[in-house]
């Protein structure tokens, strides 16, 4: 059984930042990259809102730089997915899909969250070419253009309102004849002259030669007055929620009703002493790379303090 003082699960901005800080603290951390090395940021193209890159940076290049920095300070970065954990006794135990078994004094969970998609083949086809699940990340590229937001909850309203400050026109595509958002958010959308809500509408496909140029829509699908039509747009934003990648921690850590890891307010500490959560797996609000990196730093500092406290 391999032993490590600090195990990091996940390799996005939170995981890599935790690796940098724990490496510099001589904790000799082991980091498992997970299903998507570099995290969901690698699914986008250019990152323009991460400090230090005035001209923007290719997302994969940025995550590659973070990995190199991790390795520079002695973090043992490995491919593989943690498939089983046991936080019931110390040191904590984990197993990976490669059959590796480790004992760890501290664990930093940075497994992220995955955006929910409609399941259309075109979403993958145009990923990074007009399809996005983050208005704050990619809205800047659609200044004075026409975009659509799918969803009818508070998040969709927030995304649409944010995009309305940049785009020329924003359509909200809502499957039901009503929005399930809070009254204040609905009013904000309805009062915005740039936003038009398309109720009882389903997206069944996207089209375009070199990126998204429009969406194939169906009004009142399956009803006698069903109507199919195409809506010209430049960008297609998903706002139907995120799923935290925390299934492996069920029964081990306290999770909320959606699956986000509960932490003690203002800290990355979980209900298990010595286990910390960082990044989108514990953040249902901000979901930004710079916030995730900051929380990775916090988790690393907490892990170091915890090890000093227990004399390990």
Single out the catalytic residue among 6, 33, 138, 157. Answer: 138
Residue 260 is predicted with a pLDDT of 97
Mean pLDDT over all residues of the chain? 95
When pLDDT is cut at 50, 70 and 90, the band that residue 128 belongs to is confident
- Specify the pLDDT at position 136: 85
First to last CA, the chain: 18
pLDDT of residue 36: 83
pTM for the whole thing? 0.81
CB 195 within 8 A of CB 221: no
3-state helix, strand, coil in the chain (%, to 5): 30, 30, 40
pLDDT higher than 80, residue 286 = yes
Confidence (pLDDT) at 46: 81
As a whole number, mean pLDDT of residues 32-43 equals: 84
Task: Tell me: pLDDT of 311 over 80.
Answer: yes
Q: Is the peptide bond before 91 cis (omega within 30 degrees of 0)?
A: yes
Residue 148's pLDDT band (boundaries 50, 70, 90)? Answer: very high
Per-residue pLDDT at 263: 98
What is the per-residue pLDDT across 68-87, written as a single tens digit (0 to 9) for each?
999 999 999 999 999 999 99
Catalytic residue, from 33, 70, 75, 134: name it.
134
Q: Is 76 a catalytic residue?
A: no
Q: Give the model's pLDDT for residue 48.
A: 84
User: Is residue 281 flagged as an active site residue?
Assistant: no
Can 137 be counted among the known catalytic residues? yes
- From 236, 232, 302, 277, select the one nearest 108 (Cα to Cα): 277
Catalytic residue among 70, 137, 281, 297: 137
In degrees, to the nearest 5, what angle opens at C-alpha 79 toward C-alphas 73 and 81?
Answer: 120
Say yes or no to pLDDT of 233 above 80.
Answer: yes
Model confidence at 304: pLDDT above 90: yes
Residue 247 DSSP symbol: G
Answer for the pair 143, 164: CB distance below 8 angstroms, yes or no: no
Compute the Cα dihedral for 181, 185, 191, 194 and give only its sign: negative
Average confidence (pLDDT) over 194-215 = 97
3-state SS assignment for residue 162 = helix
For range 267-280, the mean pLDDT: 98
Q: Which of 21-30, 43-52, 128-137, 198-207 has the lowest mean pLDDT?
A: 43-52
Residue 168 has pLDDT above 90, yes or no: yes
In this structure, are strands 235-238 and 76-78 parallel, antiparallel, or unpaired?
Answer: unpaired
């Amino acid at each position: 059984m391999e032993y490590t003082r600090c195990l990091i699960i996940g390799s996005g901005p939170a995981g890599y930042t935790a690796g940098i800080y724990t490496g510099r603290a001589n904790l000799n951390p082991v980091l498992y990259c997970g299903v998507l090395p570099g995290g969901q940021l690698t699914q986008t193209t250019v990152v323009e809102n991460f400090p230090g890159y005035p001209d923007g940076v290719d997302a994969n290049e940025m995550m590659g730089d973070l990995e190199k920095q991790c390795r520079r300070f002695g973090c043992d970065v490995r491919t593989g997915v943690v498939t089983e954990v046991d936080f019931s006794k110390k040191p904590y135990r984990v197993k990976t899909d490669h059959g590796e078994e480790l004992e760890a004094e501290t664990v930093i969970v940075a497994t992220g969250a995955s955006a929910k998609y409609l399941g259309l083949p075109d979403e993958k086809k145009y990923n990074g070419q007009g399809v996005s699940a983050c208005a704050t990340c990619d809205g800047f590229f659609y200044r004075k253009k026409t975009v659509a937001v799918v969803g009818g909850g508070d998040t969709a309203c927030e995304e649409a309102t944010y995009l309305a400050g940049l785009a020329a026109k924003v359509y909200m595509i809502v499957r039901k004849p009503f929005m399930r958002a809070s009254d204040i958010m609905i009013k904000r959308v309805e009062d915005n002259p740039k936003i038009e809500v398309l109720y009882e509408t389903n997206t069944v496909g996207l089209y375009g030669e070199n990126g998204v140029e429009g969406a194939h829509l169906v009004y009142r699908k399956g009803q006698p007055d069903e109507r199919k039509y195409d809506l010209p747009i430049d960008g297609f934003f998903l706002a139907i929620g995120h799923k935290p990648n925390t299934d492996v921690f069920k029964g081990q850590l306290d999770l909320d009703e959606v699956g986000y890891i509960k932490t003690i307010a203002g800290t990355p500490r979980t209900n298990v002493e010595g286990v910390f959560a960082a990044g989108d797996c514990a953040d249902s609000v901000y979901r930004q790379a710079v916030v995730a990196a900051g929380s990775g730093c916090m988790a690393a500092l907490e892990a170091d303090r915890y090890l000093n406290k227990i004399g390990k």
